[in-house]
Amino acid sequence: FEISNRNVWEKASKDKEGLEAYFQKNKYKYSWDGPKYKGYVIFTTNDSIKNEIENFLNVNKPSNDSLSIVLRKEFGRNVKVERVIAGKGENEIIDNIAFNGKTPELKGKWKCYIPYNGRKISWAEEAADVRGPVTSDYQAVLEKEWVKSLHEKYPVKINKKVLNKIKKQ
């Protein structure tokens, strides 16, 4: 198990460049039935913080990579950022933002939301857009290569006398 984990599962999850290269070679395998919204949803605890965040974003324009860190630093625990890829009918909030759905009723701590850097896409643009299936397929490729290298290093030899003895029993 540990060897498989090291050579296949863990390697696939940590090898971002290999995963992206695999995805780029096999993009055609990861098509969708319809468009999806890809972007960020920023959740706030109330309307006044939502307005402050909207004003802050109009002035500062943080990058996607630093969005969560910048907003947490500025607004503390009153903000939460989620990266989202969802199609119509998969998420009420995304339906409202991107597919003209009704405004959902939010429950719990998060009362308001703001879309950020979102757009509709018709196909996966990067491995992260379809992480689960790409990782699974990449693991299968890594496992196949690993088993092949084991067969080359340790060729299988069958003792035909013993095999014939077993067959006769």
Per-residue pLDDT of the chain (169 residues; tens, 9 = 90+): 888 888 888 888 888 899 999 999 999 999 888 999 999 999 999 999 999 999 999 998 898 889 999 999 999 999 999 999 999 999 999 999 999 999 998 888 999 999 999 999 999 999 989 989 999 999 999 999 999 999 999 988 889 888 888 888 7
Per-residue model confidence (pLDDT) at position 133: 93
- DSSP assignment, residue 9? I
Q: Enumerate residues 6+ apart whose C-beta is below 8 A from 30.
A: 23, 123, 124, 129, 130, 133, 134
- The answer to whether the CB of 45 falls within 8 A of the CB of 136 is no
3-state helix, strand, coil in the chain (%, to 5): 55, 15, 25
Per-residue model confidence (pLDDT) at position 10: 86
**One-letter identity of residue 155:** P
What length is written for the chain?
169
CA distances from 106 to 39, 96, 162 (A): 19, 12, 70
Per-residue model confidence (pLDDT) at position 94: 95
**One-letter identity of residue 106:** L
Q: From the CB of residue 5, how many other CB atoms can be counted at a distance below 10 Å?
A: 10
Per-residue model confidence (pLDDT) at position 111: 93
Helix (H, G, I), strand (E, B) or coil at 76: helix
